[in-house]
Amino acid sequence: MSIATALRRVSATRYATPLREGGSLPGLVEADDSGLYVTKFRGAGQGPLALVAEVIVGELARAVGLPVPEQVIVAIDPALGLAEPDPEIQDLIVASSGENLGVDFLPGAAGYSAALGWTPDPLLAAEVVWLDALATNVDRTARNPNLLLWHDQLWLIDHGATLYLQHRGLRPVEQASRPFPQIAEHVLLAAAGSITAADERLAPQIDRALLASIADLVPADWFGADPAQTYVEYLARRLEPPRHFVQEAEDARASA
């Protein structure tokens, strides 16, 4: 599947409200296209690397047909923070001058919970588990599903905790086949169909050219010590057979 050659760009015109979830202090921001975006700030404690993961894994999910809200680049003028009474938010906006990540706001969406009585499609659930096993997502658990229900559709959000090894430096040769036992905590395991079948559907859609085009969507100054090519190499190696993460996920599903 082809993807856009660039993320759409907007400029923030108003900081609407903070979304005090997690430690990154995302905010709901209105932009010059009249859209509302959940904005992830480069100046937040997790830094730009969380935005790198958001873009790469979010757009990889989109490329294989999984439902992800549109991601855009949000230009932030530090003057936007002058009207904010909260000094923490003022500091965050000033520290985030320049390019930030916006995720399309889904009005009226509900956070997914098994307690809602809504049953995910087993094929979709398996594909989400597969993606998260590939991308080493430590943050799709019952405690924090990072899934929304909107118009009777499950949507994937918040991929900033994926590719977590990047924070100590990605070493593709050494790390690509490293076990990911945290997949056993995935919120959709019990609802998922065959992860092996999901692998057969999704893995053939991804090659190095696709991974490179996705990595190229990330603004260059968001990367740390590891350049875009290192992320391409890491994910490409994880996709080389035998894909151990698939069997790990299958074993976890059998125990769920």
**CA gap 256, 190 in Å, rounded:** 5
pLDDT at 20: 67
Higher per-residue pLDDT: 83 or 102: 102
pLDDT at 1: 52
pLDDT at 115: 82
- Best CA proximity match to 30, nearest among 107, 105, 88: 105
Question: What's the pLDDT tens digit per position in 187-230?
Answer: 999 999 999 999 999 999 999 999 999 999 999 999 999 999 99
Mean pLDDT, rounded, of the chain = 95
Q: Is the pLDDT of residue 22 over 70?
A: no
Total residues found in the chain within this entry: 256
> Percentage of the chain surpassing pLDDT 70?
97
Q: Is the pLDDT of residue 85 over 80?
A: yes
Give residue for tokens 């977590």.
Answer: 164
Those residues with Cβ within 8 angstroms of residue 129's Cβ, 6 or more apart along the chain or in another chain = 183, 186, 188, 189, 192, 195, 198, 249, 253
What is the arithmetic mean of pLDDT over 167-173? 97
**CA gap 222, 39 in Å, rounded:** 15
Question: What's the pLDDT tens digit per position in 114-154?
Answer: 888 889 999 999 999 999 999 999 999 999 999 999 999 99
Question: What's the pLDDT tens digit per position in 31-53?
Answer: 999 999 999 999 998 899 999 99
Report yes or no: 28 and 34 within 8 Å, Cβ to Cβ. Answer: no
- Best CA proximity match to 223, nearest among 12, 42, 36: 42
Give residue for tokens 């490179």.
Answer: 212
Question: What's the pLDDT tens digit per position in 72-82?
Answer: 999 999 999 88
**CA gap 70, 96 in Å, rounded:** 21
pLDDT at 21: 64
pLDDT at 5: 83
pLDDT at 46: 87
Model-level pTM? Answer: 0.96
Those residues with Cβ within 8 angstroms of residue 87's Cβ, 6 or more apart along the chain or in another chain = none
Q: Are strands 71-76 and 8-18 parallel, antiparallel or unpaired?
A: parallel
pLDDT at 146: 96
